[in-house]
Structure 1
Amino acid sequence: MHVLQSTLDPSSDQAQKNRAGHEELLTELRAEEAKANAGGGDKYVARHRKRGKLLARERVELLLDRDSPFLEFGSVYAWGTEYLVGAGVITGAGVVNGVECVITAHDPTVKGGTMNPYTWQKVLRAMKIAEENRLPVINLVESGGADLRKQVELFIPAGRLFHDLSALSAKGIPTISLVFGNSTAGGAYVPGMSDYNVFVQNGAKVFLGGPPLVKMATGEIADDESLGGGDMHARKTGLADYLARDELEAISLGRDIVEHLHWEKKGPGPTELGPTGLAEPPLYDEDELLDIASVDLKVPFDPREVLARVLDGSRFEEHKPLYGTALVTGWGSIHGYPIGVIANARGVLFNEEARKGAEFILKCNQSDIPILFLQNTTGFMVGTEYEQAGIVKDGSKLVNAVTNSKVPHITLNIGASYGAGNYGMSGRSYDPRFLFSWPSSKTAIMGPEQLAGVLSIVAKASAEGAGRPFDEEADARQRAETEARVEAEQRALTMSGQGFDDGIIDPRDTRSVLGIALSLIHSNDIAGTRGYGVFRM
C-alpha cells in the first residue's frame, strides 16, 4: 500500500496563519466547555457537596476503568440558547470493566437536574448511538424530571426516552440505572424501563408524584421515603435490584453488573496490526494538523496531508487517483481497523466526482468496510454545461449510494459543508454513526456571500417584474445583515450547540477520536448493502 508523502512547510505564512487561527478557536471552545464542566455554578456545586454528594463528572470518572478515555458527546450542546452550555447532562462512551458503554449522567447542580428540550435531544442522541452500535447503557440518575415551564416543548418528545430504553432491552442491549437522588414524574420511568437498578439508600427518590403533587391530587400528606425511597423500593416494590449504602458502593455495584453481563462484540477486532501486535502510528506528527487545515475556507488544502497524520503508517491505497480528482477515495486503516475514505480535495463536486464517490461506496459495501467522510465541499457544480451533462442525475447517484449504504459511516467536517454536498458527504440527515467537527468548520445551505447575493438578485428581479423601484441602499444593508447572520449560524459552535454533530474536536485528537469511534462501531455486526435502489444512468 502506498505511503503518503507530506509536502507541508510548517514555517510558511499560510501554515502559521492556520495554526494561529486554530489556536484562537480552540481557546474559545475550551472556555465554552469549561462552562459546561462548571455545571450550575459555584453556589449550587457547593450546596451539592454539602449534601455529601459526588458531582456528575466525578461519578462518571469513578465508573470508568482507571486511565481509560471518555469520548464525550455534545460537550457544547445548547450553546447559543437560553439554556446553560452542556444542557445539564453529560453523555458519552467509555470503558466499564472492559466493556464499552454509553453513559448518561444528569447534573443536579443545573436546576436540580431538570430536563429542558436540549437535555432530551442530547440524551435521545446517546440512546441512538447505543442502539446502532449495540452498546450497553448506564444512566447515572439524579433528576427532577422535566422542566414543567417548558412542558409544551417536552411532553411529546420526552416519551421517546422510555420507548428507547424499552426497545434497547428488547434487542438484548443491557440498560442499567444507578439512582443517586431524585428520579421523579416521567423520570421515574428511567429505572422503570431499565434492566438493572441500583438505588442509593437515603438518597434515591423514585416516584411518579412527589409529596406536593400527591397532596394536590389526593389530599394525602406523605414523605419522600414512603413514596419512593431506596429502602422502600428494595423491600416493597422490587424496583431496586440493589440497595447501596452510599454513592461509591452504587458505582461499584454498577461496575459489577457490567462484569457479569459477559458482553462480547459482534464485529471483528483490529486486523491491520504490525508485528508488535499494535497499529503503526502515522509517519507525521498529528500536531501539524493545526498547520494544514485552512481557517479561511477560501484557501484550499490537500486532505492527503490530513490522512498522512491519521492513517496507520500513513499508508493509503488511493482509488481512481486520475479520475474525478476533486474527490479523494481509497483505503487505509486507523488503529488497526480497515476504513474506506472519501475526502473533498477541492470544494466543488463535479459529475466525475459524484460517479466516483458512488462507485466507491458500492465497493466498500461489497467488502463490509466502514467509510470515513472528510467534508470540505461547497456543493455540486452549477451552470449550463454541468446541468446539460447531468449533474442532477450524477449527484443523485452519490446521494442514493450514501442513503442505502449499510456499512457504518463516520463523518468529519474539516472545512466547509455546504448545500447538497453535505448530503452527498453523509451529513447529519443521512445518519452517520458519528459526526464530528473541527473548530474551523462551517455548515450551511451556501456561503454567506452567495446566500445574500442570491436573495438580492431575487429581490431585484421581483421589483423589476412588478415595475417597482429597487432601493439599492436598503439592499446593501440587507445583504450585510444576511451575511453577518449566516456567518454566525454556520459556525461549528452553532451547529454543535443545536446537536447537528456529536462534538467539536481538537484536530490533533482526530486519530484518537476516530479510533474510539471505530472500536464502538465494531461492537455490532459490520455488513454492507448487497442491493441498491434505482440509479439514474
Structure 2
Amino acid sequence: MYKYIRRYSECMEKVRKGGGDNAVLRHTQRNKKLLVWDRLRQLLDGEDFLELSPFAGLGMPYGDVPSAGCITGVGKISGLWCVFIANDATVKGGTAYPITVKKQLRAQDVAIQNHLPCVYLVDSGGGFLPLQAELFPDRNHGGRTFYNEAIMSAMKIPQVAVVCGSCTAGGAYIPTMAEETVMVERIGTIFLGGPPLVKAATGEEVTSEELGGARLHAEVSGCVDHFSAREQEAYECARNIITTLNFELPLEDLSEEQDPLYSSSELHGLAPRDYTHTLDIKLIVSRLTDGSRFQEFKALYGTTLVTGFARIEGHLVGVVANNGELTYEAALKGSHFVQLCDQRGIPLIFLQNTPPYSAVTGTLSQAEINTNRLKAQASMMSAVACASTPKITVVIGGCYGGESYAMCGRSFDPNFLFLWPNARVAAVGPEHSEELSQWAEPEVTLKEKNQMKKRLEEESSAFYSSGRVWDDGVILPKDTRKVSCIMSF
C-alpha cells in the first residue's frame, strides 16, 4: 500500500505546481494575476472543500496537462454549498484540451445532479486548436458546456461567473450565459477573436481593453453585470451575489456526530493487497461509521455482500460492501437492500472490491449456478440503476467485470466515485491476460503474453483511470470517511 501512497504524493506534488515555476512567475509578475488556489481561498468560506479529479490530465497521449488545466470541486461560499470551476492559466496558458472539457462537464454534471449553484472563475485562452477534432464537434465536447449552462438555468440552478483573465473564442459564452457576471479591470477580457486576429482580418490595431475589457463590457455592451477594479473585489462581489440567491437547500435532521472507535488512519493497513481476496469488510466499515456502529441487514444470508445502516458524521446512510464474490444469494440481498434505501430516501455508499475471476461452466450444475447468479446480478443492476437516492462509490480494491456494474460502477451513474491508490479498474485482472490472449489468438508468443499482462496492469491502475476522469479522484484511505459524507449537499 505504501508504494501507492508514495505515488499519490508524487502526483499531488506535480499537479500542485501547475504549469511550473516559469509559468507561475509570468502569471503573477507580468500579468499581475492571482494564482488559482489564491483565488479559491478568497472565494470559498474555508479550506474544507472537496476537490474533484486532481490527477486529471496526467499521462495523456498529448502529454501531461496538470489537473487538466482547471480546478473543480464543491465548497461553501457564504454558507451555501456550490460547485466551482476555476481555470489555471499557468497550465498551457489556460488553453482547453479534450481532458479539460471532460473535467468541466463532469463538474457541471455534479451541479445538475445535486442541484447546486455553480461558480466559474474564467481565465482561458480557448480551445487547443491542433486537437480541435477531439474537443469541438461531438456531443460531449466543448459545446456541451454551454448546453449545460442553458439547462441549469432552466432548472433554476444559479450560475455566477468571475472573468479574471482571458475569455476567448468559445470560452466567451461561459460568462455571458451565467445569471450574473463579475469582471476585473485590466486583467479580464471577453472577445471571440483577440487583437492579433482583428489586425489580420481588418488591419486595425486595437488593445485588449478597447476590444473586450471590463469597462467596455460593463458600460457599453452590457455583457457583464459587475465591474471590479481589483481581483479581491471581484471575489467579494461573487460572495455577495451568492447571499442574494434565495437558494436554500433542505436541512437534514442530524444526530450528534461521533468519531469511529477505531482510527481511520488504520485503513492504510487494511487496503487489499491480493485482489482475489479481501479482509473482513466490517474491519473497514467500523473505521468509517460514527461510534463504529453498524446495523447489519440480512447478516446471515449472502455473506459475501455486507449490507446495513450506519451514520457517518451524523448522516444516515446505507452501506453495500463486497466481502467476496457476488453470489446469487448476495445479489438478491443487495437488490432488496438497495430498494429499501430508495424507498426510505437513504443515501447509499458502495465499497467496491470485486474479485477478478472467470466463470467456469465445465459442468451442468456449475452452468446452472452461473445462470442463477447472472439473473440475480441483473436484478441488482436494475435496482441500483433505478434507485433515485444519492449514491457514492469507493473502489477500495478491485473493480472487475460485470460485478462492478451491480456495485454501482461509473456506468451506473453514482453521484461520486472515488478510488483508493491501490484500486484497479478493468474488465479482467492482469492474471487472466494469458486466457484472454489465447482466446484472441491460439498461437501467442510468451513475449506477447507478457506485453498483454503489462498493458493490463498499466491501464487498470487508479492513476490511469483518474488521469482520464473516469472517476472523481484518487483519495487516501484515511480520507474515505470525509468524502463519504458529501451526500449532505
TM class by shorter chain equals over 0.9
Give the structure 2 partner of residue 526 of structure 1.
Answer: none
Deviation at 1:239, TM superposition (A): 1.2
Is this contact kept in 2: 1:114–1:145, CA < 8 A?
yes
Give the structure 1 partner of residue 76 of structure 2.
Answer: 95
Deviation at 1:210, TM superposition (A): 1.1
Runs of 4+ in 1 over 6 A off after TM superposition: none
Within the candidate set 429, 438, 453, 2:435 is matched to 453
CA deviations on 1:325-368 (whole Å, 9 max, x unpaired) are 1000111111111111110011x211111111111111111111
1:497 maps to 2:480: no
Give the structure 2 partner of residue 378 of structure 1.
Answer: 355
1:158 maps to 2:142: yes
Deviation at 1:221, TM superposition (A): 3.2
Distance (whole Å) between structure 2 residues aligned to residue 218 and residue 422 of structure 1: 57
> Within 5 Å, which residues of 2 pair with 1:68-467?
68-81=47-60, 82-156=63-137, 157-266=141-250, 268-271=251-254, 273=255, 278-346=256-324, 348-378=325-355, 382-384=359-361, 385-389=365-369, 390-460=372-442
Is this contact kept in 1: 2:399–2:425, CA < 8 A?
yes
Deviation at 1:222, TM superposition (A): 2.6
**CA 1:397–1:220 in 2, change beyond 3 Å: closer, same or farther?**
same
TM-score of the aligned structures, taking structure 1 as reference length: 0.87
Give the structure 1 partner of residue 7 of structure 2.
Answer: 28
1:87 aligned counterpart, secondary structure: helix
Is this contact kept in 2: 1:456–1:475, CA < 8 A?
no
Deviation at 1:220, TM superposition (A): 3.7
Distance (whole Å) between structure 1 residues aligned to residue 38 and residue 9 of structure 2: 19
Give the structure 2 partner of residue 42 of structure 1.
Answer: 21
Is this contact kept in 2: 1:349–1:380, CA < 8 A?
no
1:207 aligned counterpart, secondary structure: coil
TM-score of the aligned structures, taking structure 2 as reference length: 0.95
Matched residues, number: 478
Task: Name the amino acid aligned to 1:213.
Answer: L
Distance (whole Å) between structure 2 residues aligned to residue 457 and residue 118 of structure 1: 34
Task: Name the amino acid aligned to 2:218.
Answer: A
Deviation at 1:386, TM superposition (A): 4.4
Distance (whole Å) between structure 1 residues aligned to residue 142 and residue 434 of structure 2: 37
CA deviations on 1:46-98 (whole Å, 9 max, x unpaired) are 111113211011101111113x4121100000121113231111111111110
Distance (whole Å) between structure 2 residues aligned to residue 214 and residue 52 of structure 1: 25
CA deviations on 1:231-255 (whole Å, 9 max, x unpaired) are 0001011111110010011111111
1:518 maps to 2:460: no
Deviation at 1:263, TM superposition (A): 2.3
Distance (whole Å) between structure 1 residues aligned to residue 487 and residue 114 of structure 2: 10
Deviation at 1:458, TM superposition (A): 4.7
Give the structure 1 partner of residue 32 of structure 2.
Answer: 52
Deviation at 1:455, TM superposition (A): 2.1
Distance (whole Å) between structure 2 residues aligned to residue 151 and residue 498 of structure 1: 18
Deviation at 1:445, TM superposition (A): 0.3
Distance (whole Å) between structure 2 residues aligned to residue 514 and residue 394 of structure 1: 27
Deviation at 1:219, TM superposition (A): 4.1
Is this contact kept in 1: 2:357–2:428, CA < 8 A?
no
Is this contact kept in 2: 1:376–1:413, CA < 8 A?
yes
Deviation at 1:391, TM superposition (A): 2.4
Task: Name the amino acid aligned to 1:341.
Answer: V
1:86 aligned counterpart, secondary structure: helix
CA deviations on 1:174-208 (whole Å, 9 max, x unpaired) are 10111111101100000011011000011111011
Q: Percent identity?
A: 40
Structure 2: 5+ residue stretches without partners: none
CA deviations on 1:135-194 (whole Å, 9 max, x unpaired) are 111111111111112111111210000111121111111101111111011000000110
Distance (whole Å) between structure 1 residues aligned to residue 367 and residue 245 of structure 2: 56
Is this contact kept in 2: 1:32–1:85, CA < 8 A?
no
2:190 aligned counterpart, secondary structure: strand
Distance (whole Å) between structure 1 residues aligned to residue 439 and residue 197 of structure 2: 58
Distance (whole Å) between structure 2 residues aligned to residue 395 and residue 248 of structure 1: 54
**CA 1:247–1:395 in 2, change beyond 3 Å: closer, same or farther?**
same
1:377 aligned counterpart, secondary structure: coil
1:150 aligned counterpart, secondary structure: helix
Deviation at 1:376, TM superposition (A): 0.3
Is this contact kept in 2: 1:351–1:386, CA < 8 A?
no
Is this contact kept in 1: 2:437–2:452, CA < 8 A?
no
CA deviations on 1:421-454 (whole Å, 9 max, x unpaired) are 1111000011000000100110100101213323
Is this contact kept in 2: 1:377–1:415, CA < 8 A?
yes
Distance (whole Å) between structure 2 residues aligned to residue 475 and residue 519 of structure 1: 53
Task: Name the amino acid aligned to 1:101.
Answer: C
Task: Name the amino acid aligned to 1:36.
Answer: V
Deviation at 1:383, TM superposition (A): 3.0
Q: Which moved more, 1:193-202 or 1:379-388?
A: 379-388
2:395 aligned counterpart, secondary structure: strand
**CA 1:64–1:73 in 2, change beyond 3 Å: closer, same or farther?**
same
Deviation at 1:43, TM superposition (A): 0.6
Structure 1: 5+ residue stretches without partners: 1-20, 461-469, 521-537
Task: Name the amino acid aligned to 1:265.
Answer: L
Deviation at 1:477, TM superposition (A): 1.6
Give the structure 2 partner of residue 480 of structure 1.
Answer: 450
Distance (whole Å) between structure 2 residues aligned to residue 257 and residue 142 of structure 1: 20
Is this contact kept in 2: 1:378–1:446, CA < 8 A?
no
Is this contact kept in 2: 1:198–1:253, CA < 8 A?
yes
